[in-house]
Structure 1
Amino acid sequence: MNFHITHSTRYSYSAPVGLCWNQACLLPRETANQKCLSSELQICPPASGVRERSDFFGNRVTHFAIQNPHKELLVTANSDISITPDPELLLDANLHTWDELKILLATEKDPVRLQAIPFLFDSPMIPRTQALADYALPSFQADRPLVEAVRDLMERIYRDFTYDPAGTTIATPLAEVLKNRRGVCQDFAHLGVGCLRSMGLAARYVSGYIETLPAPGKERLVGAAASHAWFSVYAGEAGWVDFDPTNNQIPLEQHITVAWGRDFSDVSPLRGVALGGGKHRVSVSVDVARAPTKIVNFQFQSQ
């Protein structure tokens, strides 16, 4: 399955910004099942010092500065992605029970498992707590296969929590999400990660997009999609398996991965520091569309 993704972020300021420095995590990474066929970051007004690097987790991070006065900043990421799901992944991931894997993570130190260690512990937005372990526990009976247990946890989050864009903010503590049983995809992904880590398993936060299809008889609305988030659990030799609690599904060919980290703070799409500007307004437009097979090669530019 091929997709073209356009993600635009516009900052409008009430007064001129004299200088800004920014960090973007908007260009999709490659995975075992996802190939980035092309990607470009367009920046207006023209940026200086544009450079791309890989962060600790292997994500593509772009740094840039704008040194001329401006009252608007527009950053647009255009990407073409090809996804080929692995039909054997879930079978391979179920070779371990969750409690076997917990012991392996705590005792074996081979190079592959060491890469999962950073995802076992507390992170800035996800503390391990007894309350999270208590919520997760009904899904994790002794000797239950890993994927079966995590799928059950995902289904319970989907049933027990209400999707409510007004119910939380980006800074709402996870304990409050657990108490009020409402939030958005970021909250539900954090919740899944927190539950798994509180049970001794390695889990990471995944940011990206999901293809949303229009209702029968309705036209697809260009730009009406949004960024999405889900979680992934370490499954031993099989690698990592994704789970989307917002939609109660295991991502296959309609989820596009941009980045992953310990939590949202590691993969914020766009952040920076601006001198001046007064009050500002942010608007975001995302479009995810199926694309033809033939796609152009990689390019990177600012305009």
Structure 2
Amino acid sequence: MKLRVSHMTRYDYTDSVSLCHSIVHLKPRHCPHQRCLSSALRISPGPAVNREHEDFFGNRVNYFSIQQSHETLEVTAVSEVEVSTPNLPEPAQTPAWEVARDSLHQRRKPAMNAALVFTLASPLVPLNAAARDYATVSFTRGRPILEATGDFMARIFAEFAYDPHFSTISTPVGEVMAHRRGVCQDFAHLAIAGLRGLGLAARYVSGYLETLPPPGQVKLQGSDASHAWFSIMIPDLGWVDFDPTNNLIPGEQHITTAVGRDFQDVTPMRGIFYGGGAHDLTVAVDVNRIVE
């Protein structure tokens, strides 16, 4: 499946901005099941400095600086990617979740060792006893990890309400647990908190969903906006993604932009500016299939 994604961010300021420095995570990364064919960043007004680097997590990060007076800032990323569905074994055939947890500490498994950073608390995902206890219901003794994680995802989908008016980017995991509602970011943070509480490696994934659903299927929640889900490290499989907002394992409709410990590591755009007064923010995302 080939997809084209356009992500436009526009700031309209009430007063002039004399200088701004920004960091963006808008270019899709290369993954085992995703290949970025092309990606371009358009910035208006034109920046004095614009460079790209790869961060600690392997994400493509762009830094730019606008050093002229401006009252509007518009950043548009247009990318084309090729995405495939992961070929996973039967959930019951995967190792027990305790084996996956213990494998993280075995020196002969470098890939597992490298994932240890994702077992630790992070700014937006502190270790939370309620989230750990909630996860424990699915992770019974000796249960295969793919089966347990799928059950955990399904429970979040069934027992938490999708409510775009409930939370902000900084809503604590504890509040999401208490109110049983939130959006894709909240469900990802909740799942990660529960998994890390069990000693498993779980990371936050930021990206997009295909805008238009295939014929005869229901449109997925999270379309026409940035989307978020989580992935868990499994021995011999690597990172496997799960989307609790839609209760499915991401496939050809999901585009991965960046991964990190939580949302703070992968924010689409952040920075500082001097002046500007108040501002209006407009974000528009469009994802479409490329028909050849």
CA-to-aligned-CA distance 1:198-224 (integer Å, 9 cap, x gap): 11100000000011335979xx9xxx7
CA-to-aligned-CA distance 1:192-246 (integer Å, 9 cap, x gap): 11111011100000000011335979xx9xxx71100000000011101100000
Q: In structure 2, what is the equivalent of residue 301 of structure 1? A: none
Question: Are the counterparts in 1 of residues 106 and 113 from structure 2 also a CA contact under 8 Å?
Answer: no
Q: TM-score scaled by structure 1?
A: 0.91
User: Secondary structure, in 3 states, of the residue corresponding to 1:139?
Assistant: coil
- The amino acid that maps onto 1:130 is A
Q: Determine the C-alpha separation between the residues in 2 that align with 1:213 and 1:229.
A: 18
Tell me by how many angstroms 1:253 deviates: 1.0
Q: In structure 1, what is the equivalent of residue 54 of structure 2? A: 54
Q: How does 1:55-74 map to 2 (within 5 A)?
A: 55-74=55-74
Q: TM-score scaled by structure 2?
A: 0.94
Q: In structure 1, what is the equivalent of residue 249 of structure 2? A: 250
Q: Determine the C-alpha separation between the residues in 2 that align with 1:43 and 1:113.
A: 39
Question: Are the counterparts in 2 of residues 9 and 282 from structure 1 also a CA contact under 8 Å?
Answer: yes
User: Secondary structure, in 3 states, of the residue corresponding to 2:62?
Assistant: strand
Q: Determine the C-alpha separation between the residues in 2 that align with 1:268 and 1:71.
A: 23
- The amino acid that maps onto 2:171 is T
- The amino acid that maps onto 1:27 is K
Question: Are the counterparts in 2 of residues 206 and 231 from structure 1 also a CA contact under 8 Å?
Answer: yes
Q: Determine the C-alpha separation between the residues in 1 that align with 2:113 and 2:213.
A: 43
CA-to-aligned-CA distance 1:117-154 (integer Å, 9 cap, x gap): 11001001001122111111110111111010000000
| Structure 1 residues 216 and 60: alpha-carbon distance in aligned structure 2, compared to 1, 3 A threshold | closer
| 2:286 maps to 1:291 | no
Q: In structure 2, what is the equivalent of residue 8 of structure 1? A: 8
| Structure 1 residues 188 and 70: alpha-carbon distance in aligned structure 2, compared to 1, 3 A threshold | same
- The amino acid that maps onto 1:34 is Q
Q: In structure 2, what is the equivalent of residue 21 of structure 1? A: 21
CA-to-aligned-CA distance 1:61-111 (integer Å, 9 cap, x gap): 000000111010000000000012232x24489431101111222344532
Q: Determine the C-alpha separation between the residues in 1 that align with 2:209 and 2:92.
A: 23
Q: In structure 1, what is the equivalent of residue 127 of structure 2? A: 128
Question: Are the counterparts in 1 of residues 206 and 227 from structure 2 also a CA contact under 8 Å?
Answer: yes
| Structure 1 residues 49 and 15: alpha-carbon distance in aligned structure 2, compared to 1, 3 A threshold | same
User: Secondary structure, in 3 states, of the residue corresponding to 2:236?
Assistant: helix
Q: State the superposition RMSD in angstroms.
A: 1.8
User: Secondary structure, in 3 states, of the residue corresponding to 2:140?
Assistant: coil
Instruction: Give unmatched runs, 5+ long, in structure 1.
Output: 294-303
User: Secondary structure, in 3 states, of the residue corresponding to 2:102?
Assistant: helix
Q: Determine the C-alpha separation between the residues in 1 that align with 2:280 and 2:108.
A: 48
Q: Determine the C-alpha separation between the residues in 1 that align with 2:251 and 2:93.
A: 17
| 2:177 maps to 1:171 | no
| Structure 1 residues 52 and 94: alpha-carbon distance in aligned structure 2, compared to 1, 3 A threshold | farther
- The amino acid that maps onto 2:25 is C
Tell me by how many angstroms 1:46 deviates: 0.5
Question: Are the counterparts in 1 of residues 241 and 249 from structure 2 also a CA contact under 8 Å?
Answer: yes
Instruction: Give unmatched runs, 5+ long, in structure 2.
Output: none
Question: Are the counterparts in 1 of residues 131 and 191 from structure 2 also a CA contact under 8 Å?
Answer: no
- The amino acid that maps onto 1:255 is H
Q: Determine the C-alpha separation between the residues in 2 that align with 1:93 and 1:241.
A: 15
Q: Determine the C-alpha separation between the residues in 2 that align with 1:260 and 1:176.
A: 24
Q: Determine the C-alpha separation between the residues in 2 that align with 1:214 and 1:233.
A: 26
User: Secondary structure, in 3 states, of the residue corresponding to 1:245?
Assistant: coil
User: Secondary structure, in 3 states, of the residue corresponding to 2:105?
Assistant: helix
Question: Are the counterparts in 1 of residues 91 and 146 from structure 2 also a CA contact under 8 Å?
Answer: no
Question: Are the counterparts in 1 of residues 94 and 146 from structure 2 also a CA contact under 8 Å?
Answer: no
Give the count of matched residue pairs: 287
Q: How does 1:267-286 map to 2 (within 5 A)?
A: 267-286=266-285
Question: Are the counterparts in 2 of residues 93 and 239 from structure 1 also a CA contact under 8 Å?
Answer: no
Identity of aligned residues (%): 50
Q: Determine the C-alpha separation between the residues in 2 that align with 1:216 and 1:253.
A: 15
| Structure 1 residues 49 and 281: alpha-carbon distance in aligned structure 2, compared to 1, 3 A threshold | same
